[in-house]
Chain A
Amino acid sequence: MSFDLKGTLKPLTALKQFGQKPHTLTNVPFIPREAADRYRGLHYNNLDECIGCGNCSTICQNQAIDMIPVDGIEGKNGDSGLRPRVDHGRCCWCGLCVDVCPTGSLSLTKDYVYVSEDANSFLWTPGVDNPEGDERVSFFSTKETSLNDLGRIPMPELEGMERIKSFAEVVLGYNEEQARAEASRCISCGLCTEACPEHMHIPEYINAIAGGNDEDAVRIIYDNNPLPEMCGKVCTRRCEDICAIAHRGDPIAIRWLKRYATETVENADLLKEIINPEIKEPNGFKVGIIGAGPSGLTAAYYLALKGFDCTIYEANSKAGGMTMYGIPRYRFPEDSLDKQIEYIQKIGVRIHFNTKVGKDISFGEIYHNYDAVFMGVGFPKPWTLGIEGEELHGSIQAVNFLYEINNGKKVDIGNKVIVIGGGNVAIDAARVSARLGADVTILYRRRVQDMPADWEEIEGAEAEGIHIISQAIPIQFHGDEKGHITTVEYLKAEMVPDEHGGRPKPIAIEGSNTVIEVTAVLGAIGQQGDYSFLEEEFDEKVKIERGRIVVNEKQETTLNKLFAGGDSANRIADAISAIADGYRAVKGIEELLMKGK
């Protein structure tokens, strides 16, 4: 081998590096080096934004994240009260927990140095252990990078202008594929169960739907709600308001999924077969129930399962109460409840239709004939506005209007209708009027965002061409010489913040009087109870406060063995709280009657 002179000398050129600025970072480790702007270092959690849903804990493939109670944080509706704690003996700093955090409270910081001789000191509660970490946040999620499915599967609906041609149901319902996709968005945290007055097993039935087990979903739903089709169509769905996904996107369509699950069962026989309820032997006790509304039906169903002999007295020809007679057909078709009522009858509940208590049968008779009585009579009587001209012809109460329409009768409202109010009844009345061919305007005292009605309903109304005039306080109705209403006069209002911290109040602006022409006015500012059927001997014993029957936590009234529920006994006044009342009353009645057995 020859001598390689070039190869021997060339390496010596390395000497030219002499005197060059060294690359060495001499400050490290004495002064920590700043990490990149996106560095995945130690966790930080914004404790106020965090809702304790535990999604971080679920996604963690290393089971590094525990949910623990933290001092100073109380659980509340929409917040489990738990906060994540990271085990640094498990964490791999992949940041999936950050990307799935539905609120974006969890993030990673630029800090990365933690050295200790104690192996037990590596449990890290982000936000508690580094309260100042807010300023060091580097790896975080945004709406764009979030791994949550933020967009809801759109519900197939009739076109806005197509809808007002008839009373056909607007919402068409998910098909199987859509339902699975929508159910798959759920992160199963279960925070929603707290918002639901009935505490339905929401994540479980959604998971069952996502997994393709619709029958199991139906079974889980029926565990504490015998009227899921009602809830599936018209529930006020408080659950969706606090849905974890709603912090950044659209909440899971819990209501539509329930509707989907119940619609997969075709008839009552099949329903009975799927649920296969365990019905106890008759125990000899008889329970009378007044009103086949949601609370009465619920109480009857679960009492019947427990072996009680239940009889319902209902004034109308169909069960369902306010949902059946107060909600228009395009939201709640007439046959919606048939399957469920038939099923409830099949397990042994008797329902006497067209039997009005106080007219066809006296309350006293029921009270004395039964071992316990449950009363779910609702709020049938509307509030009046209390302004001049309300007695004019053409000034109609929205509830009565809806009742008549739902019973197939005709109501003459002309072609220019004003609806007063901002609740669901107001919107319903407006949309029904639109279907009758009228040009409809809603007057509401506060702003649109303050309307207690469902936002979907408001949007639906707007899509159907209904105008909403907000911050408008009606002061007088004017009529013609025949006593027929012609115009409505109202004042504009401004919103004044409430000094007690409540919601802002509308204050009328003097001199802002506006007059609009109308052919009919529908008042929808709320309803009240009607307890005229109570005979004198009971009237005194049943305590009624501000129009509501006073009940304890078991729905027991001040009168022995009388229970009450539904609108007439709770402040929320919606179907699902009525169902919850009925469910609670079952426990109360069982305790009362089965005492010592």
Chain B
Amino acid sequence: MMMEEIKTTIIDRIKLHFSDAVEKEFSYNRLDFSVKKETVPSILFYLKEEMGFKHLSHISCVDWLEEGEFEMIFILWSPEEKIKVFIHTRVDRSNPVMDNIDMIWRQANTYEREMKEMYGIQFTGLEAPEEFLLEDWNGPPPMRRDFDTEAYAAKTYWERPGREDALDVRETVEKRTGEVLPEFAKKYKR
């Protein structure tokens, strides 16, 4: 029961201050809000300073290539209330610009460096070295879903030969039985 009350209070307060927040409840100690990306710094600041969500657990980014958007997720933890709050926001994939939040949590700086490198999201006012995990990288941001790592690796790195004699099980049986698989069915091979 306690948890329910806490959740209701949080929802009420957030809705009061941030009209664009859409909540989603879970059965366990988790509460989600989806907001516009402009709201993110203020809602994070509010949650941290006013509502006790002192601990920034995680910042993540998901590439929804088909929808043309990046989803950013901020996961906060309240040591007092023992509840997680997820802040979801969507960033346009063609012009990925986000507000920098490393003045709220210093460690967000690292996450932003990584996201900038891996997804190509620009954080306005981010001060950090250009490179983080990659060195002399000249391809597209690698975590974007349209980057094909397998093809890149096959092209760039030499692979040890000696395995060309491998056969496909299905094709071996097909050949033996004389079965002819129509073209449109081939995509359903394993």
Within the complex, what minimum Cβ distance (angstroms) separates B172 from chain A? Answer: 5
Q: Which of A165-173, A198-206, A251-259 contacts B (4 or more CB under 8 A)?
A: A198-206
Residues 162-188 of chain B: 1 if any A CB is under 8 Å from the residue's CB, otherwise 0? 110111111011101111011011101
By beta carbon, the residue of chain B nearest A81 is B172
Q: Give Cα A81 to B173, complex, Å.
A: 9
Instruction: State whether A201 and B167 are in contact (beta carbons under 8 Å apart), knowing that A89-B160, A123-B162, A211-B188 are contacts in the complex.
Output: no
- Complex: how many Å from CA A53 to CA B170? 9
What residues of A have a CB within 8 angstroms of the CB of B189 in the complex?
188, 203-204, 207
Q: Mark A407-427, 1 if CB is under 8 A from B, else 0.
A: 000000000000000000000
Distance to closest chain B CB from A361 (angstroms): 36
A189 to chain B, nearest CB (A): 6
Which residues of the other chain, A, contact B168 by a CB distance below 8 angstroms?
Answer: 54, 67
- Would you list which residues of chain B between 4 and 59 have a CB under 8 Å from chain A? none
- Chain B residue with minimal CB distance to A221? B185
User: In chain B, residues 54-91, which have Cβ atoms closer than 8 Å to a Cβ of chain A?
Assistant: none
Contacts A193-B173, A201-B181; A216 near B166 (Cβ below 8 A): no
Cross-chain contact B160 with A52 (CB below 8 angstroms):
no
User: In the complex, what residues of A have CB within 8 A of residue B170's CB?
Assistant: 54, 188-190, 193, 203
Q: Does B190 contact A (CB under 8 A)?
A: yes
Tell me which residues across on chain A come within 8 A of B179, comparing CB atoms. Answer: 193, 199, 201
Question: Chain A contacts of B169 at CB under 8 A?
Answer: 52-54, 57, 67, 80, 82, 189-191
Residues of chain B within 8 A (CB-CB) of A89 are 160
Once bound together, how far apart are the Cα atoms of A239 and B179, in whole Å?
Answer: 15
Contact A68 B166 (CB under 8 A): yes
Cβ of A145 within 8 Å of any chain B Cβ, yes or no, is: no
For window 349-391 of A, CB contacts with B under 8 Å fall at none
Contacts of B166 in A (CB 8 A): 66-68, 85
A-chain residues with CB within 8 Å of residue B177 when the two chains form the complex: 193-194, 199
Contact of A199 among B165, B167, B178, B182 (CB under 8 A): B178
Contacts of B176 in A (CB 8 A): 75, 194
Contact with B along A536-576 (1 / 0, CB 8 A): 00000000000000000000000000000000000000000
Contacts A52-B169, A216-B184 known; A203 to B160 CB distance under 8 Å?
no
Task: Indicate if the CB atoms of B188 and A216 lie closer than 8 Å.
Answer: yes
Which residues from chain B contact A476 at a C-beta distance below 8 Å?
none
- Check if A69 sits within 8 Å of B167, measured CB to CB: yes
| Interface check A439, CB cutoff 8 A | no
CB pair B188–A203 under 8 Å, yes or no, is yes
Alpha-carbon distance A336/B115, docked complex (angstroms): 59
Among A194-230, those with CB < 8 Å from B are: 194, 199, 201, 203-205, 207-208, 211, 216, 219-220, 223
A454 interface residue, CB < 8 Å from B? no
| A207 touches which of B165, B173, B190 (Cβ 8 Å) | B190
Are A219 and B184 neighbours in the complex by a CB distance under 8 Å?
Answer: yes
Distance in Å: Cβ of A425 to nearest Cβ of chain B: 29
Residues of chain B contacted by A203 (CB below 8 angstroms): 170, 188-190
Chain B residues, Cβ within 8 Å of A187: 190
A566 to chain B, nearest CB (A): 20
Q: How far is the CA of A309 from the CA of B168 in the complex (A)?
A: 40
Docked-complex contact A220 and B172, CB < 8 angstroms:
no
Q: Which of A69, A120, A194 contacts B173 (CB 8 A)?
A: A194
Q: Considering the chains assembled together, what is the distance between the CA atoms of A187 and B174 in angstroms?
A: 17
A207 — nearest CB in chain B belongs to which residue? B188
Cβ < 8 Å to B, chain A residues 38-94: 52-54, 57-58, 66-69, 75, 80-82, 85, 87, 89
Q: Is A5 an interface residue, CB under 8 A from the partner?
A: no
User: Which one, A57, A120, A188, A189, contacts B162 given CB within 8 A?
Assistant: A120
Contacting residues, chain A, for B178 (C-beta < 8 A): 199
**Whole-angstrom CA separation of A8 from B176 in the bound complex:** 80
Q: Cβ of A204 and Cβ of B165 under 8 Å apart?
A: no
**In angstroms, how far is the closest chain B Cβ from the Cβ of A81?**
7
Q: Interface code A435-473, partner B: CB below 8 Å = 1, 0 otherwise? A: 000000000000000000000000000000000000000
A-B pairs with CB below 8 Å: how many? Answer: 93
The smallest beta-carbon distance between A523 and chain B, in angstroms, is 37
CA distance A190 to B189 in the complex (A): 9
- A75–B172 touching, CB < 8 Å: yes
A424 to B170 Cα, complex, angstroms: 32
A119 interface contact, C-beta 8 A: yes
> Which residues of A lie under 8 Å from residue B184 when comparing CB positions?
216, 219-220
- Give CA–CA (A54, B170) in the complex, Å: 9
- A155 → chain B closest CB, angstroms: 24
Give chain B residues whose Cβ lies under 8 Å from the Cβ of A67: 166-169, 172
Contact between B174 and A87 (Cβ–Cβ < 8 Å)? no
A67-B169, A68-B166, A123-B162 given as contacts; is B185 within 8 A of A193 (CB)?
no
Cβ-defined partner of A190 (8 Å) among B165, B167, B173, B186 = B173
Contact B162 A68 (CB under 8 A): no
> In chain B, what residue has the closest Cβ to A192?
B173
Q: Which residues of B contact A120 (CB under 8 A)?
A: 160, 162
B173 touches A191 (CB 8 A): yes
Q: Are A193 and B190 in contact (CB under 8 A)?
A: no
Residues from chain A with a CB closer than 8 A to the CB of B181 are: 201, 204
Expressed in whole angstroms, the Cα–Cα distance for A194 and B166 within the complex equals 20
Q: Are B173 and A80 within 8 A (Cβ)?
A: yes
CB-CB contacts of A490-509 with B at 8 A, as 1s and 0s?
Answer: 00000000000000000000
Q: Of A57, A87, A191, A204, which is within 8 A of B188 by CB?
A: A204
Chain B contacts of A208 at CB under 8 A? 188
Output the least CB separation between A391 and chain B (Å): 47
4 closest Cβ pairs, A-B complex: A66-B166, A188-B190, A54-B169, A199-B179
Interface of A toward B, CB cutoff 8 Å = 52-54, 57-58, 66-69, 75, 80-82, 85, 87, 89, 119-120, 123, 187-191, 193-194, 199, 201, 203-205, 207-208, 211, 216, 219-220, 223
Q: Jot down 21 A-B pairs with beta carbons below 8 A, ordered by A.
A: A54-B169, A54-B170, A66-B166, A67-B169, A68-B165, A82-B167, A187-B190, A189-B169, A189-B190, A190-B169, A190-B170, A191-B169, A193-B170, A194-B176, A201-B182, A203-B188, A203-B189, A203-B190, A211-B188, A220-B182, A220-B184
Other contacts beyond A53-B169, A188-B170: 12, CB < 8 A = A54-B169, A66-B163, A66-B165, A67-B168, A68-B167, A89-B160, A120-B162, A199-B179, A201-B181, A203-B189, A207-B190, A219-B184
